[in-house]
Amino acid sequence: MQRSPGSLVAVVIFLAASAAPAGAQSIWKKLDLDKLALEGIGVATGPVSPSTIVSVPSYGVQADYGEIARHFRIGFSGSFWSSRFTDKTVDRFITQLDKSLADPTDSVKFDRVKVSTISIEADLRFVPTSASAAVQPYVGGGIGLHIVNAQSKLIENTFVESALDNIGAGISAIAGIAILPAHRVSVGVEARYTVLGTLRFGTVRAGAMFHFSRQQRPKVTPP
């Protein structure tokens, strides 16, 4: 039987609460896990700037799973980007290889090293405003699974390729703002910084989301 991301989060939180001391469990009781359900879905895109890698656009989808506690929301996202190591970085690598050659007349041929990343992340966001506010700033953090793939004739079938190819967990710090021009639609901008082993990259994304359910802003009745 397949489980939704929201259900998996609920299971993880339940297990953590069961193992927590009795005093700490009172905090977990305040979490409204029954409300954890898909409330919105959208798309986002923006530049990603990894260290030693050429900046390129990233593309992603995002989902809002609602409030887990007052002012705290759970979200999920999936993203993809494909780029290459900068020529300066590759040249420095080739220079080091040339120094190790026994025959000084030999040389290593230059070849660009392509790299791509697929990321699936879960975020916890603190939103100080109400769920019905027209402008909603937020900060938070996330954990994710990142699949990194590197390709080049320069590193093919070497330990360098094995070291660059990676499937691992990463952590992210996020900050952003969402604006609700309509009841069912929101647009926003988000900055994210991700650390994945030796790979670190910042992303700025602009996106839009359609909400299946959202609290209505109270109507003002004229006196």
pLDDT top residue among 94 and 175: 175
pLDDT top residue among 32 and 11: 32
Tell me: the pLDDT tens digits for 129-182? 987 788 999 999 999 999 988 887 777 777 777 777 788 899 999 999 999 888
Tell me: the pLDDT tens digits for 102-125? 555 555 666 678 889 999 999 999
User: Is it the case that residue 194 has pLDDT exceeding 80?
Assistant: yes
Confidence of residue 1 (pLDDT cuts 50, 70, 90): very low
Domain locations in the chain? 1-31, 37-211
Can you give the pTM of this predicted structure? 0.71
| Third-level CATH fold of 37-211 | Porin (2.40.160)
Looking at residue 2, what is its pLDDT?
A: 41
Name the β-bridge partners of 151. Answer: 114
User: Is it the case that residue 72 has pLDDT exceeding 50?
Assistant: yes
